[in-house]
Structure formats: structure tokens, C-alpha cells
């Protein structure tokens, strides 16, 4: 049983936030809010938001704070967030964290825990550049660490797997650099508020999932 249910998953790209968030949210009936997934869906639809975000997402840059914060604020008012939610990939900057606080105050909610997924840079690069993503449901696989049962096909929904263009070596490096500059400052930020729990993200998901549950008790 977990008691902490309004969650932020923090960590570098490739740390496994998305994979564990998906498992946790399915089992615990929480809303999985991945800003990357939402942005990719908007880009695929060709919406106004998608048009604004496209350039940043394909080059591995950060979409402007106000745009993502607005997107998350509106997502948090949906009924499926009532039992709890895992924010995956948001906030990514200190200003986003401040905008999140404002949005939560308006709907009288608060964050119960920030889980920091910790892993070394070399592992992150090797995970990112071997990552395969489902076109349909967004599930992640990995050519080396967790290949799908059938090549090119999603185990979860049967959708087609592809390599995200921003998972190329050069773009992945750029995303890690941006992470170190813009997102890593959130670690001391949440630690000083007493909200941070650290998870060793170098483990495989069958080891890291029970460790995650233990942190959320």
C-alpha cells in the first residue's frame, strides 16, 4: 500500500521515470502525466500547441515554461487526477516548479513526494540511444536492456516501435546538458523543502519498482 500519491518524478532523460511511472500508475490507478507524451501527441495532431512546441521537442530544447505549466495546470483539473498523479518530466526548471505550486494552490492540492531517479551519465546515454518507443501508447523498450518479445512490436498494445528522433546520440547529449543546467537545480530545491526521496535508477525495473513502492509508503 502506498500513501504518497501526488508525485513528481525527477531525473535525467533515460533514468526510467516514464517506465516506472507507467507501471505505478496502472497498478495504483493514478494519472500518469508525461509532458513529453502530451507534447508529442499535440505535435502529431498539428494543434496550435503542437506547432509552438515542435521545434523545441525535435531539437531536444525546452518548451517555454509558461506553455508547459499551463498545459499541466489544466491536466491536473481532470477527474482522473483525484486519486493521485505522477508528474513525469515536469517541472524541469525552477520557474516551472513555482508555477506548479501556484496551480496546485488554486485547486487545493499538494505534492506528497518528489522521487529523484539517480543514474550515471554513461548509463543514461546508452539507455537513450538504444531506446524504442511505441507510436501508439508511448511505452518504452530498449534494444539492449529490455527488448520487446517481438521485434518492432509493443508488448503492451501491439503498436509499432520506433526510435524517437531526439534519441539520436547528439540530441541525447544536448538533452543531458540541458538537464544538468536547468533541471538538476530542482534537486537541492526540493531537498531543502524536505520533499526529496532518492531512487537508484541504475537497477532494472523489477528491482527498482519495489524500491519505489517502499519510498511511497
Among 33, 175, 197, 216, which residue interacts with ligand ADP (rule: CB under 6 A)?
A: 175
Strands, sheet with 140-142, edge to edge from the N-terminal-most edge strand: 140-142, 131-134, 161-162
Among 6, 8, 9, 13, which residue interacts with ligand ADP (rule: CB under 6 A)?
A: 13
Cell numbers at residue 25, please?
A: 500508475
- Exactly one of 17, 40, 75, 127 is catalytic; name it: 17
| 154 touches ligand ADP by CB under 6 A | no
Distance of alpha carbon 178 from alpha carbon 174, whole angstroms: 6
| 177 touches Zn ion by CB under 5 A | no
Among 27, 29, 55, 136, which residue interacts with Zn ion (rule: CB under 5 A)?
A: 136
**Nearest CA among 7, 8, 11, 73 for reference residue 38:** 73
In the block, cell 536547468 appears at 182
Instruction: Report, in Å, the least distance between residue 3 CB and ligand ADP.
Output: 26
Prior bond to 91 cis, omega within 30? yes
Q: Give counts: helices (H), strands (E), the chain.
A: 9, 8
Is 92 annotated as catalytic? yes
Q: What is the DSSP string of 12-31?
A: -TTSSHHHHHHHHHHHHT-E
In the block, cell 500519491 appears at 5
Q: In the stretch 141-160, what mask flags binding to Zn ion with x, by CB under 5 A?
A: -------------x-xx-x-
| 16 touches ligand ADP by CB under 6 A | no
In the complex, which residues of this chain contact Zn ion (CB under 5 A)?
Answer: 134, 136-137, 139, 154, 156-157, 159
In the complex, which residues of this chain contact ligand ADP (CB under 6 A)?
Answer: 13, 35-36, 39, 56-57, 60-63, 68, 89-90, 92, 96, 166, 175
The residues carrying an active-site annotation are 17, 92, 131, 164, 175
Amino acid at each position: 500500500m502506498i500513501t504518497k500519491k501526488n508525485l513528481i518524478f525527477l531525473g535525467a532523460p533515460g533514468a526510467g521515470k516514464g517506465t516506472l511511472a507507467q507501471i505505478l500508475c496502472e497498478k495504483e490507478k493514478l494519472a500518469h502525466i508525461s509532458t513529453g507524451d502530451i507534447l508529442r501527441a499535440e505535435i502529431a495532431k498539428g494543434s496550435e500547441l503542437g506547432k509552438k512546441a515542435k521545434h523545441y521537442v525535435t531539437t531536444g530544447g525546452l518548451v517555454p515554461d509558461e506553455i508547459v505549466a499551463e498545459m499541466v495546470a489544466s491536466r491536473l483539473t481532470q477527474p482522473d487526477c483525484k486519486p493521485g498523479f505522477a508528474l513525469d518530466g515536469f517541472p524541469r526548471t525552477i520557474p516551472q516548479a513555482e508555477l506548479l505550486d501556484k496551480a496546485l494552490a488554486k485547486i487545493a492540492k499538494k505534492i506528497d513526494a518528489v522521487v529523484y531517479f539517480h543514474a550515471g551519465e554513461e548509463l543514461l546515454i546508452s539507455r537513450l540511444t538504444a531506446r524504442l518507443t511505441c507510436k501508439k501508447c508511448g511505452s518504452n523498450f530498449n534494444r539492449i536492456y529490455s527488448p520487446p518479445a517481438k521485434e518492432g512490436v509493443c508488448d503492451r498494445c501491439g503498436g509499432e516501435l520506433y526510435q524517437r528522433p531526439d534519441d539520436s546520440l547528439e540530441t541525447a547529449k544536448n538533452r543531458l546538458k540541458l538537464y544538468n543546467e536547468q533541471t538538476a537545480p530542482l534537486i537541492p530545491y526540493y531537498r531543502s523543502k524536505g520533499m526529496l526521496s532518492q531512487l537508484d535508477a541504475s537497477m532494472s525495473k523489477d528491482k527498482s519498482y519495489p524500491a519505489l513502492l517502499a519510498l511511497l509508503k
